[in-house]
Amino acid sequence: MTAARDAAGRSRLRETFSALGVRNYRLFFVGQGISLVGTWVRRTAMGWLVYELTGSTAKLGLVMGLALLPMFVLSPWAGSIADRVDKRRMIILTQVLATVTSGSIAALIFLHCIQVWHLMALSTLSGVAFAFEVPSRQSFIVEMVGRDKLMNAIALNSGLVNLSRVLGPATAGLLMGWVGMGSCFVIDALSYMVVIVTLFLLSLPDFEKREHAQSHWEALIEGAREVRKNRTVRVILTLLTMVGVFGWSFETLMPAIARDFLKLRVAEYGVLMSQIGIGATLGALYVASRPPSANRRAMVFGGVAMTIVGMYLVAFFGATLGSDRTAFWAVSAALLLSGMGAVTFMSTANTLVQTNVDDRIRGRIMGIWAVAFGGAMPVGSFVSGFVARMISPFATIAAFSTVLLAASLIIYFRMPSDHLFIGGMGRSME
C-alpha cells in the first residue's frame, strides 16, 4: 500500500512538472525566472520611489499605470506582428529595450537627479517593450511544448511569475534599506540580459517567413471577429477586464498603505508585498497539478472569488487594526489569499483562451488578451489613485471589491454553461 502511494505521488509530481521535460522550455523557464525576480525588484522599488518623491497616491497610480498603458494601444498590432515574425527575435528586442529603461533609471538615481517625470517617461517606454513581449511570449510557449502540455506550461510559468513576487519584493526591501534605491534597477537591467542569453541557447528550427495575403489591419479585424464569435474567449476576456480594473489595481495603493497606515520600513514593505507572490505560487502549483478533466469553470470563478475575499480582508484589517503588528500579519494573510485566487483565475483563463483558438491567429488573440489585461490595469491604477486621494485607500479597495463581486456574479449567472469552459480544439460559438 505504501509503495503504491509512493508511486502515485511520484506520478503526480511528474504530471505537475511535465513541461519541464522539454529542454527548450527548461532553458526558457530559467531565464524567465531570473528576469521576473528583477522585474518585481524594479516594480517594488518604483512604487516606493514615486511615493517618496511625491507623497501622492494620484501620481503613484499615474506612474504605475503608465507602465501598462502601451499594452492597451499597441498589443493588437504587436499580436499581429507576432503571427508573422520570429518570436524569439521579437522577445530579444523587447528585452534589450527593457534593459535600457532600467539602466537609465539607475543612472539618474546614482547621479541624484531623478524626478517623477523621468519615471513617467521611462515607465511608458518599458511599457512599450512589455506590449510587444506579452503576445510574442504567450504564443511562443505552445511552440516549445505543444498543446498537450500547454496548461501545465502556463501554470508553471504563472508559478514562476509569482514565486518571483515572493523573492522580488523581499529582495527590493533589503536592497533599498542596505544598498540604495539605484541597485534595484541595476539588478533588473542585468536580469534581462540573462533572458537574452537563454533565448540564444534554445534549439529551434530555422524560422520560415511565410507570405501573408492579409494586411496587418485585415489580420487585426480577423482576430476581433474571432473574439466576437467565440463565446468562450469573449466571456473570459470580459471577466479578465473586470478583474484588471477592479481587482489587481489595489496593489497600486500598497506603498501608501504600508507607509502611512501600517508604518512599515522598506524591508517590511518588501515582506508584505511578497505575500501576494506566496499565495500566487500556491495557486499556480494547484492549477499545474489539475488534470485536463478538471472543472475549469469552478477554477475560473473560484479564483475570482478568492481575490475578492482577499481584497475585502485587506480593507477591513487595514482600516480597523491600525499600525500594530497584528495588522501587518492580518493584511499579509489577506494578500496571500488574494494572490492565490488571482493566479488560479489567470492560469486557467489563459489556457482556455489559447486552447480555444486556431494556431494561426493565436498571436493576435493574445494581443487582444494583452489589451484586456494591459488596458484594464492602468485604468484601475489611475482611478484607484485618484479615488483614494478623495476618500481613503481602504474605502477604495472595498468599493472596487464590491463592483467586481457584482460584475462577476452577473457573468456567472448569464454564462452558466459548463461546456464553455472545457477547452481543447473545439470552440464554443453562439
Q: Which domains are assigned to the chain?
A: 21-200+215-416 (1.20.1250.20)
Residues 6+ apart with CB under 8 A from 343: 158, 159, 161, 162, 279, 280, 281, 283, 284, 287, 303
395/94 Cα distance (integer angstroms): 38
The tens-digit pLDDT sequence of the chain (430 residues) is: 555 555 555 555 566 677 777 788 888 888 888 888 898 899 888 888 888 888 887 787 788 778 777 776 777 677 677 777 788 888 899 999 999 999 999 999 999 988 988 999 998 898 888 878 877 777 777 777 766 677 677 777 766 776 776 788 778 888 887 888 899 999 999 999 998 999 888 877 666 666 555 565 666 677 677 777 777 788 888 888 888 888 877 777 888 888 888 888 777 877 787 788 788 778 877 877 776 666 777 888 888 999 999 999 988 887 777 666 788 888 888 999 988 888 888 878 877 777 777 766 766 777 777 777 666 777 777 788 788 888 888 889 899 999 999 999 988 887 645 555 554 433 433 3
pLDDT, position 189:
93
What is the phi/psi pair of residue 406, to 5°?
-65, -45
Bridge-partner residues for 230, per DSSP? 429
Q: What is the reported pLDDT for 215?
A: 60
Query: Which amino acid does the sequence have at 168?
Result: G
pLDDT of 97 reads: 92
pLDDT at 308: 93
Q: What does residue 429 show for φ and ψ, rounded to 5 degrees? A: -110, 155
pLDDT of residue 187: 92
Residue 212, all three cell numbers: 501573408
Cβ 71 vs Cβ 240: under 8 Å: no
| Helix, strand, coil percentages, rounded to 5, for the chain | 85, 0, 15
Half-sphere exposure of 93 (CA within 13 A, CB side): 14
Q: Report whether 279 contacts 335 (CB < 8 A).
A: yes
What pLDDT shows up at residue 134? Answer: 76
Q: Is the dihedral of CA 329, 338, 16, 195 positive or negative?
A: negative
Question: Any bridge partners for residue 19, and if so which?
Answer: none
User: What size, in residues, is the chain?
Assistant: 430
Residues ≥6 apart with Cβ < 8 Å to 21: none
pLDDT for 420 equals: 53
Q: What is the pTM of this model?
A: 0.66
Type of residue numbered 157 = N
| Planar angle of CA 221, 157, 175, nearest 5 degrees | 115
Q: State the pLDDT at residue 218.
A: 67
Confidence at residue 110, expressed as pLDDT on a 0 to 100 scale: 92
Q: What's the pLDDT at 107?
A: 94
Q: Which residue has the cell 507623497?
A: 55
Distance CA 270, CA 381 (A): 20
**324's grid cell:** 500594530
